[in-house]
Homo-oligomer: A and B are copies of this chain.
Amino acid sequence: MRSPITWQSVQAEALRRLRAGLWTPGARIPDEAELARELGCARSTVNRALRELAAAGLLERRRKGGTRVPLTPVRKATFEIPIIRLDIEARGQCPGYRLIRQATEPLPKAEARAMRADPGAPFLHLLALHLADDRPFCAEDRWINPETPGLDGADFETLSANEWLVGNTLFSDGAIGFAATAATPELAALLDCAPDAPLLTITRSTRAGPRPITAVRLFYAPGHRLETRL
């Protein structure tokens, strides 16, 4: 009796064909049912094998039009962006939160551009610190549209804007960016690090249809790494 064909061996065979140029860039590969017949395995095995290759950008799946070899290989990586408190808990640490200041201020140009809002418009500006086991984890520098429904009832002394927004606002589209920035004196004091220390910085902006909602910069304490499997 032959041992059953695993998805790993189907994936290896698909990679061999890609590498050998049997499946060429731009061309459509056989469909799942055809590959399953050819390789003598279940269609679900083929599906499992190709799913990862597609997620990694080595194959392109289209709703109609089947699966193709991309013209230029683009690997893809998916990062999960949890609520900061849950991220800290997932690391087995005890989360803490402190609101540093809160004021209505004119929206700076960079944040206005990110949200497609009017620069200079009065927005709620928050600076807060997230802690893990009582040590600085990440500073949250956030702007919120004052017309966001329900905002009047929010108490950012006790609940971070990060968490309030996930639970209370609509979401339609947004952008996220990664960069490295040098700690300003204020951030260095908050994060308990040297001035100019390199900080992994995540910027996010979100809109709900026509309405800008929020723009945030998260500055992670030195040494922070964001990781995912490919």
Contacts and interface: CB of A to CB of B under 8 A. Distances in A.
The count of identical subunits is: 2
Given A79-B79, A199-B198, A229 B73 contact: no
A73 B15 CA distance: 34
A78 B80 contact: no
Interface string A22-48: 000000000000000000000000000
A185 B138 CA distance: 28
Contact of A80 (B19, B74, B176): B74
Contacts of A223: 179
Interface string A185-229: 000000000001111110010101100000000001011111111
A228 B11 contact: no
A188 to B, nearest CB: 13
Given A180-B198, A180-B201, A200-B179, A173 B76 contact: no
A66 interface: no
Given A12-B170, A78-B77, A78-B78, A225 B179 contact: yes
A180 B168 contact: no
A198 B176 contact: no
Contact of A81 (B76, B83, B222, B224): B76
A151 to B, nearest CB: 14
Contacts of A167: 73
B83 A171 contact: no
